[in-house]
Amino acid sequence: MAQNMMAMGKKEELKQHVSQSLQVFPDDIDLQRMAVEVFGEGQGAARAESTAFALHEMGVTSLHYFDLAIRAYAATGRVAYAYQLLHHAYQKGLIPSSTKAFGRCVEAIMRACGERGHPRLALRVFDMWNHTSAQPKPSPLPLYEALANCGAMETMHAILTESKKLMSAEEDVLVRRLQVKAKHRSHLLPHLRTPVYLIKQ
């Protein structure tokens, strides 16, 4: 029924249906997953987060819910909180760095950083990812894109100086385009520029 309502574009009716169903079956895993997808942030992200911790306490795998919660927070602007939740989950071993979910969360946070102007946070989350056991090693392109969107031209240039030798010819072309974008946006958004000395902090 719920899938039919989603297909028909009846999102408000679906929200009402899920809310009413959860009042009757509050512990239903499928309903909780659907709530996350339907409500997005707000109820959805918070419910996914609380469900993840509750499942963890019961000894049940909670990776799926942490993944959903972190990406929902990032997508709706609570970028710093998304990073804190990912960092906590990683440190506690709840989202191993070798999983696809970890990579998805990092990229979602970096994308949100680019859209909302948080160059330093983009650097921090990428640095965390880059120094984990993630295999294969993450591509820096999503980070460069986030920095370009922020207009963080000096920061991007400083990183590229160190990593340029490791890039393929195709990546080099993409990064050159992003550098042009970063320069353009740095004039439009001068308050978002990140001085080079902040990179190591």
pTM above 0.85, yes or no: no
Q: Which of 8-12, 50-54, 114-118, 181-185 has the highest mean pLDDT?
A: 114-118
pLDDT in tens, 15-29: 777 777 766 776 666
Model pLDDT, residue 49? 80
Q: Find the range with the poorest average confidence among 35-44, 122-131, 189-198.
A: 189-198
Q: Is the pLDDT of residue 80 over 80?
A: yes
Residues of 42-64 as b/e, b for ≥16 C-beta within 10 angstroms?
A: ebbbbbbbebbbebbeeeeebbb
d(CA 38, CA 62): 19
CA-based radius of gyration for the chain: 19
Residue with tokens 């921090």: 124
| pLDDT confidence band for 126 (50 / 70 / 90) | confident
Q: Write down the pLDDT at residue 201.
A: 36
Distance CA 3, CA 154 (A): 48
CA distances from 199 to 13, 27, 121, 195 (A): 47, 44, 10, 8
Question: CB under 8 Å to 201, separation ≥6 — which residues?
Answer: 120
The conformational region for residue 177 under phi > 0 = left, psi -120 to 50 = alpha, else beta, is alpha
Cα–Cα distance between 129 and 121 in angstroms, integer?
Answer: 12
Query: What is the residue-averaged pLDDT of the chain?
Result: 73
